[in-house]
Structure 1
C-alpha cells in the first residue's frame, strides 16, 4: 500500500539543550521523534486513513526479533496515541519488563460514531441518554470498520513490520463499544482486549443482551479481557453496563484466559482512559522484572 510518513514531534520537549558560545546562548535543541504517521487508502472504508506507529527503541529491521502489536482505536496524534505509547514504553523498560516490547498502532478517527457503532432500527434510545438524534448523522458502520481492521490494517502491519501473533486492542467509550463487539463476534482478531467505560447503552443495550450467547461460540482460551468503569456518580448507566459486561464475561466466558474488572471511583468518563490502561497492564501482567 502507498504510505506517506511524517515524524511525530513533541513540541513541548523542544529547546531542552542550550550552550554558551562567545558569550551568547546557542540553541542546540533537536526534535524528539517518537514514531511516524502513515496514510493508508482503504477500499473497504472508501477513504484514506492515518495511522500512527511507535516502534520499540531497539527495533531493527534486519534482526530476527518480533514484537506484539497494540492497536489504539482512538489513535490519532491528538487523541490517545502519544500517552498510550508512553505507558507501553514505560512498562517495557528492562528494569520493569512487565510484558514484551511492543509496536503501538494508533488509528486516527474520521467519524468515530459511524465507525464504532453497529446498525440499529432507530435512534429513539439516544434521547434517553440525554443526546439529540441530530448528533448522530451517520451510524452503523462497525461491520465495515471491523473488516478494515481484519482485511487491510492487520495484514498491512504484519507485512511491513516484524510482528508476533499477539495483538491487543484498546477502546474507550464508543471505541469501547466497538472493542466489545469485536470481542463477542470476532474474538480471534485480538488476544487481549482493554475495554474502558464502553458505550454499551447503544441500541438499548442489545449487544450486552447477546453477550452470554455469543461467548459460548469460538475459542476463548488465549483471550484475556480488562473492563474498566469510572465513577458511578457521574453516569450510573455506563457503570452498570460495565459491571454487567464484567459479570457476563466471568460467568459465560468460562474458558477465557483471564477477566479483570476495575472500578475507578476517582475517575470520570473523560479522565479514565490513561489510568485504566495503566491499571490494565498491571492487572493482566502482574509480574515485573523484580517479581519473577
Structure 2
C-alpha cells in the first residue's frame, strides 16, 4: 500500500509539471516560490525552491522549522519532499514546516557534493569533483541567511540528502554540525575516496563531541537527531553505512540524549525508490520523539 501511495504521489507531481509547462494560458497552481542567489561562494547564479505551509502569513507571529533538501530543483526531489511534508502536516504527523529545495539542476552535483578524492577510479569517473567545501559555504553563508532573513523561521533546521547528497549531508554533520539539528541521510555514497569519510568517522565525531560540550555551556537544548537508511544496495553501500552507524552509536552512548540515532534499512526498496519512504519514516520518528516530550 505504501508503495502504491508513493508511486501515485510521483505520478501526480509529474503530471502537474507537464501541465504547468504546456498550459501557459491557464491559471498557475500555487505550490511554492523561487529565490535566486548570485552566489559568491560558487561564483554563479543558483536557485532555491520554497514551499510555504498552509496558513503561512508574513504578518503573523507564527514561525516555522525549515527542511532543506539537497537535489532540490522542481525536477529533482523538491516537489516530492514538499508534497510529503504537506501531507504529513495535514494529518499532524509533522509540524508545519517551510521546505527549501537547494537546486542542482543544470549544475554539477558531482562537483558540489564531493570533497576532493585521491582515488584513481573516482578521478576517472568524476574528474570534476571536490567542490563540497564551497557548496557548504554557499549553504552556510548564503542560503540559510537568505531564508532566515526573508521568511518566518524558528531555529530548528533539517537537512535531507540521498546518494551523493547523503555523502554531503554526512560531511556537514562531521564538519559543520552546528548548521542543522536533524540529519536525514539516505543511501549515502560513503564509498567515495576509498571510504575515507567513514574510516575517519571516529575522529570527526570526536570533534563533534567537543563542539557539543562547548555549545551546551551556552545552550542546554543543543541536540542532534540522525536518521540513516538505505535499501537493497551494493554490498559496499551497506558496509559503509554500517561503519557510519557504528561510529554514531558510540557517540550516542556517551552523550546522554544529546545525540539520537535512528537506523532503518528498508530492504524492499532500492536506490531509486527508497527516498520517499525513508523520509516519511524519518519525519515520523522525529515527530514521535517530539510528542514523547509533551
Q: TM-score, normalised by structure 1?
A: 0.83
2:203 corresponds, among 206, 209, 213, to 213
- Judged with a 3 Å threshold, the aligned counterparts in structure 2 of structure 1 residues 151 and 275 are, in CA distance, closer, same or farther, namely same
Q: Tell me the equivalent position of 1:240.
A: 239
Q: Tell me the equivalent position of 2:92.
A: 97
- Judged with a 3 Å threshold, the aligned counterparts in structure 2 of structure 1 residues 263 and 58 are, in CA distance, closer, same or farther, namely same
TM-superposition CA deviations, 1:119-148 (whole Å, max 9, x none): 12x33243xxxxxx4441311110000011
Mean Cα displacement is larger for which, 210-219 or 60-69? 210-219
Any runs of at least 4 consecutive aligned residues in structure 1 with deviations exceeding 3 A, and if so which? 11-14
1:143 corresponds, among 111, 125, 133, to 133
Give structure 1 stretches of 5+ with no counterpart: 1-8, 15-28, 127-132
Q: Tell me the equivalent position of 2:278.
A: 276
Cα distance between partner residues in 2 of 1:288 and 1:148: 30
Q: Tell me the equivalent position of 1:21.
A: none
Give structure 2 stretches of 5+ with no counterpart: 1-14, 21-25, 214-221
Q: Tell me the equivalent position of 2:16.
A: 10
Cα distance between partner residues in 2 of 1:125 and 1:285: 41
Shift of 1:13: 7.1
8 Å CA contact retained: 2:163, 2:186: yes
Shift of 1:281: 1.0
Cα distance between partner residues in 2 of 1:269 and 1:84: 16
Any residues of structure 2 matched to 1:46-85 within 5 Å, and which?
A: 46-85=43-82
TM-superposition CA deviations, 1:200-233 (whole Å, max 9, x none): 00111111011112212211841100000111xx
TM-superposition CA deviations, 1:78-98 (whole Å, max 9, x none): 0000010011111112xx322
Shift of 1:288: 9.2
8 Å CA contact retained: 1:70, 1:102: yes
8 Å CA contact retained: 1:98, 1:288: no
Cα distance between partner residues in 1 of 2:196 and 2:289: 37
Q: Tell me the equivalent position of 2:227.
A: 226
8 Å CA contact retained: 1:75, 1:105: yes
Q: Tell me the equivalent position of 1:124.
A: 120
Shift of 1:284: 2.1
Shift of 1:37: 2.0
Shift of 1:271: 1.0
The structure that is helix-richer by fraction is 2
2:83 corresponds, among 41, 62, 86, to 86
Cα distance between partner residues in 1 of 2:87 and 2:113: 29
- Judged with a 3 Å threshold, the aligned counterparts in structure 2 of structure 1 residues 285 and 124 are, in CA distance, closer, same or farther, namely same
8 Å CA contact retained: 2:190, 2:237: yes
Q: Tell me the equivalent position of 2:193.
A: 203
What is the total number of aligned residue pairs between the two structures? 258
Shift of 1:31: 3.1
Any residues of structure 2 matched to 1:142-221 within 5 Å, and which?
A: 142-217=132-207, 218-219=211-212, 221=222
The structure that is strand-richer by fraction is 1
Cα distance between partner residues in 1 of 2:51 and 2:69: 11
